[in-house]
Structure 1
Amino acid sequence: MYDEDDYLQLSGIQHFAFCRRQWALAYIEMQWQENVRTVEGKILHENAHDPGLKEKRGDLLIVRAMPVHSCEMGVSGECDVVEFHRVKEGISLHGKEGFYRVVPIEYKRGKPKEGEEDILQLAAQAFCLEEMLCCEIEYGYLYYGEVRRRHKVEFDNAIREKVKQIFAEMHKYYEQQYTPKVKIRRKCNACSLKDICLPVLNKNKLVAEYITKRMQEEENL
């Protein structure tokens, strides 16, 4: 169990899974830059993250920008949307009649990705909800703005263990204030922190070694 002062941002798991260095630069060194992708994603989330919007559609209750946390994983954040479906067997909600099934929904720009970063973030939200509401959540949805439809994600034991392991690793990096090196990959070109990260300099040598070599070359001219 973690103290609240040690909580990490839940959304960081997406960045960590994409690139550990990107996460460390943003969440440990507090460096960030916007690009087209991050701006589009922010606009999409602003439409979903309106805490003033709570809808009741028959047996369906929709809550937006719901704060969540987990003492076990040591994280906190917000769910874009959480749907509460009225069912015969489920959890009870304060001030509401009957029982409900909990379904988290995360909004993303673009279309479904090859990697599992989005899946891990959604799963982390679900596990926070499970801890807070004392329930079990079997699935959730990722909504992609480009294709305008939901993608169902089931939370099996493998994804549950992976989320816990990743958060444990994130806590370790954060405690050590450690920013790892990076290997150049094709996805580096799409990273908003490319100019800060300077992946080319980290390809085969340390930055200090690079600078020393360039100074020596200048002296020999």
Structure 2
Amino acid sequence: MDMDDEALIPLSALQHYLYCPRQCALIHVEQLWAESQHTGEGRLLHDKADKPKMERRKGVRTVTAMPLAQPLLGITGVADVVEFHMGEDGVERPYPVEYKRGRPKPHQADEVQLCAQALCLEHMLNCQIPEGALYYGETRRRIVVSFDEALRSLTCQTIEATRAMVASGHTPSATYSAKLCDNCSLLDLCQPRLLHRGESVQHWLRAQLKGE
């Protein structure tokens, strides 16, 4: 059954959830955000792909900032780049490309976000997409991502878990991890070292204001 637009979750939420469910809730439940050097660099990297346009060259039609949606799964978003490769049979085949700052990560958050884009494209264009690519700004190289059954299953599980958390309106408890937290732009808002009982950041902010 198709979902209302308001019930759809953004594709970016899936990456946030796999990185840290609490970060995902702060952004998509409590509507909080803070810019950092890392997010700023990522935003600049996306600037080129964020402007909708289309161009053709050497048998490839490239579309940037392409709106995506898969109402049956309840997801929506915008693809950085979708390349349409012309096959020998004269049929165009979509190939999603996601731009990321930095370098490849040890977890699969980027792969899941890209796979979710492919699921949207398959639904919209009634086709099968076997692979796509992640482009990393630091290495300036593409990494080919195969949309195999394992990645598709992980992506669908992540969609369900993210949707359930956002729908619950609950922000997970804070647990400090130097590896994750110190690189998070929401560190000052999250206060993982202080908030260990699951209070919302909004509750903590109100308490700080009352104490001033």
Task: Indicate the structure (1 or 2) with the bigger Cα radius of gyration.
Answer: 1
Q: How many residues align?
A: 199
TM-score, L = length of structure 2: 0.89
Decide whether the 8 Å contact of 1:201 with 1:207 is kept in 2: no
Q: Does the residue aligned with 1:21 lie in a helix, a strand or coil?
A: helix
Decide whether the 8 Å contact of 1:79 with 1:106 is kept in 2: yes
**Residue 5 (structure 1) shift:** 2.4
Equivalent runs, 1:152-167 vs 2, <5 Å: 152-167=144-159
Whole-angstrom CA distance in 1 between matches of 2:199 and 2:66: 42
Whole-angstrom CA distance in 1 between matches of 2:198 and 2:17: 22
Partner of 1:64: 64
Which has the larger displacement, 183-192 or 34-43?
183-192
* Partner of residue 137 from structure 2, selected from 128, 131, 145: 145
Gapped regions of structure 2 (runs ≥ 5): 205-212
Partner of 1:196: 189
Partner of 1:86: 86
Runs of 4+ in 1 over 4 A off after TM superposition: 205-208
Decide whether the 8 Å contact of 2:131 with 2:147 is kept in 1: yes
Distance 1:101 1:206, change over 3 A: closer
1:145-199 per-position Cα deviation (integer Å, ceiling 9, x unaligned): 1111100000111111111111111111122101111322121100011111111
Decide whether the 8 Å contact of 1:20 with 1:180 is kept in 2: yes
**Residue 69 (structure 1) shift:** 0.4
Gapped regions of structure 1 (runs ≥ 5): 90-97, 212-221
Q: Does the residue aligned with 2:93 lie in a helix, a strand or coil?
A: strand
Partner of 1:37: 38
Residue 31 of structure 2 is aligned to residue 24 of structure 1: no
CA-atom RMSD, angstroms?
Answer: 1.6
State the identity %. 42
Whole-angstrom CA distance in 1 between matches of 2:110 and 2:48: 18
Partner of 1:4: 5
Whole-angstrom CA distance in 1 between matches of 2:198 and 2:21: 17
